[in-house]
A and B are shown apart, each in its own frame.
Chain A
């Protein structure tokens, strides 16, 4: 087999970034556009550099990168001025470490999971859980709930990819479902009954006890946690369920985003001609809601094409994860797949009103240097993995 880079992956990432750049030009004007171009150039360059470094070196570097980034988050949280503490200001540029934290966590988690002989029991989940919970809590305290929660789907998918049975993963994380269901006593009781029956037929005593106790406690403590959330975070969750109640509040964003996409029609209003975007009806139009602008200006055609590229990129990552013989590399790619895939569908679902507003940027497309850089760094490692995928 010849050694070769998986050019499709980098090509898809670059095309998505270019579409993103066009939309940033349309929504935010030339100053921000040029800033993002610089970030884009740096990001592609970094991907190139990273693709030259062998996976083995990454495996050895992983703990150091992880610890470094965690320290950075820690310093940010405890030394930086006022809330929210999401950015490091270094002169003219500001760096958002949460993007790099995902990269570092995936890298370290992959190296950790690869070092285990088997990942089968609950006890095997604990250490990986700690690895993701540290950055999740640090980011949650910034506070950035949207960025913090992404770590857990990534963890679940990486565990699954490593070989953890899906049922085990479900039972382990089922308290989260219990917590979500606790908003309504009826739903929770129904859920708990169904869970009990399921665990009974699962026929494992330890799972049975763990499942019932943890779910019961989660359902009990959730209301307490809910009250500790910040008001705007509560509001986001509430408004998702009844978006037309308060047109000026957070649901205003969902409505305006849906109007932007819906009014685009089949072929859109044309590049630079979106009225929702131009007249500032659309919130966070060059960051979280850039996909809505795409829908408004390029219509269904634009959305299908862009989404297809995302899907293709994800598919190529999945194929890479499958074909890579090296355990660490395979798990790492699955983590990148989970990261980009989850964030993409979460963001797009949010702009269409299918999912709650979480303030998660669209990978490659949303304005923001740190996020772009982190994505391309991950892609760079995927490239070096693709080059050497059959060697181990």
Chain B
């Protein structure tokens, strides 16, 4: 059987070669790449478990919680241990879109990490899931701290909201894990790092289905760092009053400051939205409705909307004129006959005032007087003073997305309208129309120049020990003169409806003509005039005259505040 020996040798060699191949590939797996595979086996079984840090609470000036945390149930899924039918079942229970889940899966690279697919599920959903736990493989339910706004819509623009972080945000900031919440808009955004804290990390051992089997002791956990609380200057009671006074108007904004130190008491905007909704994670449709609504409820009108400011700008024109010493308070121009002809154009006043000096022109808000005054002092004088007071600049309040408004200067006008831009532009500017744009906060800020004798405190929402001021170069005398006019406005001028019993109020009404509908109604004022405790700016869109709508509201706000404050003082004394 010689042939048998050849065959025997061949087959023997095949066995030997196969054996050598097996041993070589074992050596490759176990010795050469052994460490890699050991790491992979650890990665299989050891999972980082994030323990989300609760966000810091936010308090009003009196220590009342206006944002806190509450426990909420979430549902998470491990991609590798869930099948399609289970996924369908859970989407039906949670009433969410399968695409939303797929998007979230895409964000998490590690297929063994649980991905939260729903936050803040209802008790009904929770019990349905718990009942069916044995058929819902790969589904986990847990508790997490969720943001809660006890006053709902009341502080929506001021506080902002928290929402689940997006894919792009994780990429740009490595400090966040997927499913993390991040502050959006308002204080939540501005003080994100202060409020958020640091998640704790635990290491647990899991099996192939992602179920927790035990704790890993060889890796040290990272302790949780709680988010810091934020103490604000906001006055809850006053904000509630403001909300009531503005109840009947669709779109409005209100700013209340302490004019002596810049503490923001109220920052209010309408229409509103419910920041609690964002905790669930809005479906795309809901978000689009909110975002595309013509009333722009997500917009904080108090710091983001730029409006013309109408007659409320007149005191600043007067101030610029007096400060530049181009006129005295006795200066008179061509008397008001209700109309003023400039070349071919006719500029109107809202009333026939006759002959007025500066103070009376403020009190009765005579347009004809201010057309001539503005034109008399010129753009450069007006720009330098108004710019110094803060027009066209951000107030630097501690909130995101503040707009700077717009104050035109000579160069801009020349560029915009050519070298022969006419006095007509100056006329419009002098009564706060035309190209001038302000945010409500900005106007309130500028108005503190009268309340605090030229020292403008920087507005802020977070409580401070020390206050920052912007010191203007405006002369005290000029301020005092205009202030006389402002007193007169409320005592017997256009703003009498803003009067507060027992307190002297300074203020100015404004009516902004609006080509799209009713006029916007404005009032800005402070009280008491000798020792101002509150400065109020009310802006009501499409409501009518400043004197009839915004002034009485501002009066009520000041009254509420002063009465409450006096009561507290009184109580403290006795």
Contacts and interface: CB of A to CB of B under 8 A. Distances in A.
Interface of A: 157, 160-161, 163, 247-248, 252, 256, 258-266, 275-276, 279-281, 295-296, 299-300, 303-304, 307-308, 311, 314-315, 318-319, 321-322, 330, 337, 341, 345, 348-349, 352, 354
A295 B30 contact: yes
A248 B18 contact: no
B21 A263 contact: no
Given A262-B29, A321-B8, 14 more contacts: A163-B3, A248-B79, A258-B29, A258-B37, A263-B34, A266-B31, A275-B42, A279-B213, A303-B22, A303-B30, A307-B23, A308-B19, A318-B8, A318-B15
B411 interface: no
Given A248-B111, A258-B29, A354-B21, A275 B44 contact: yes
30 contacts: A157-B11, A247-B80, A248-B80, A256-B208, A258-B37, A262-B33, A262-B38, A262-B40, A262-B41, A263-B38, A263-B40, A266-B31, A275-B45, A280-B207, A280-B209, A281-B41, A281-B45, A296-B41, A300-B30, A303-B22, A303-B26, A311-B19, A318-B8, A318-B12, A322-B1, A322-B8, A341-B18, A348-B22, A354-B21, A354-B25
A276 B30 contact: no
A26 to B, nearest CB: 16
Nearest to A280: B208
Contacts of B31: 265-266, 300
Pairs A-B, 8 closest by C-beta atoms:
A262-B37, A263-B41, A279-B207, A262-B29, A280-B208, A263-B38, A281-B208, A322-B8
A41 B27 CA distance: 35
Contacts of B38: 262-263, 265
Contacts of A307: 19, 22-23
The size bracket of the interface on B is: 35 or more
Contacts of A300: 26-27, 30-31
A322 B5 contact: yes
Contact of A352 (B15, B19, B25, B207): B25
Contacts of A337: 11
Contacts of B19: 307-308, 311
A252 B40 CA distance: 13
Contacts of B12: 315, 318
Contacts of A352: 22, 25-26, 29
Contact of A160 (B7, B16, B45): B7
Given A307-B22, A345-B18, A259 B11 contact: no
Nearest to A337: B11
Contact of B36 (A262, A322, A348, A349): A262
A161 B11 CA distance: 10
A344 to B, nearest CB: 9
B188 interface: no
A275 to B, nearest CB: 5
A223 B332 CA distance: 101
Contacts of A314: 15
Nearest to B1: A322
Contacts of A163: 3
Nearest to B21: A354
A263 B45 contact: no
Contacts of B23: 303-304, 307
A9 to B, nearest CB: 15
A261 B29 contact: yes
B349 interface: no
A81 to B, nearest CB: 23
A318 B22 contact: no
B22 A265 contact: no
B126 interface: no
B541 interface: no
Nearest to B41: A263
**Among B26, B31, B45, residue most surrounded by chain A Cβ atoms (within 10 Å):** B26
Nearest to B35: A265
B30 A318 contact: no
B172 interface: no
